[in-house]
Chain A
Amino acid sequence: AQKITQTQPGMFVQEKEAVTLDCTYDTSDPSYGLFWYKQPSSGEMIFLIYQGSYDQQNATEGRYSLNFQKARKSANLVISASQLGDSAMYFCAMRGSGGSRLTFGEGTQLTVNP
């Protein structure tokens, strides 16, 4: 079974500062993928970044980077230079080697203060 744990129900950050959202995972699959999604108050899920378990380098996408520490089974999302529009719910998710289905964490509500 796969499990994703996000231990921060809520986080606050000042505009223009960086913030790290934590994600730890548990799986016995040798190959897996880790995803981060953003969910604004409107409800849609927006894909942010992906990290494969065999990728040698941490993934980056614009202001988003993934701090992947395989031995610790953590895949933290780092958002640099926070903007007011970054205020949203953020979900970490994992896909195992057995198929395409995703397992999601409980999410972290990020609030960016002006």
Chain B
Amino acid sequence: DGGITQSPKYLFRKEGQNVTLSCEQNLNHDAMYWYRQDPGQGLRLIYYSQIVNDFQKGDIAEGYSVSREKKESFPLTVTSAQKNPTAFYLCASSTSGGALEQFFGPGTRLTVL
């Protein structure tokens, strides 16, 4: 089945450690996105990529990094510079341009101890 996978579903890390969240899609979408969601709040855009080997900062990019070496994959690294990394992280993809919606993965809940 076509879709977006994120792994793992739950992730625990010690403060000061970098951690990488995985996002893979087999929808042949050009564009991919990372969002952060805090409890009871909406989604905020961290980074997005419209094409392989290119990406742009979203609204809250500080303390995060991404890469887009393959069309199917858009991993997000939460670095030790991110002051409050505990949150729910959602990855999405879409066709580039057009009116079509973004498709979301199941999310990764990151807890930093």
The chain A residues found within 8 Å of chain B, CB to CB, are 4, 33, 35, 37, 42-47, 50, 52, 91, 93, 99-107
Contacts and interface: CB of A to CB of B under 8 A. Distances in A.
Interface residues of B, number: 30
A3 B31 CA distance: 22
Contact of B104 (A45, A50, A52): A45
15 contacts: A37-B104, A43-B88, A43-B109, A45-B43, A45-B90, A46-B104, A100-B48, A100-B94, A100-B96, A100-B97, A100-B102, A101-B45, A102-B33, A106-B41, A106-B42
Nearest to B92: A45
B42 A91 contact: yes
A46 to B, nearest CB: 8
B75 interface: no
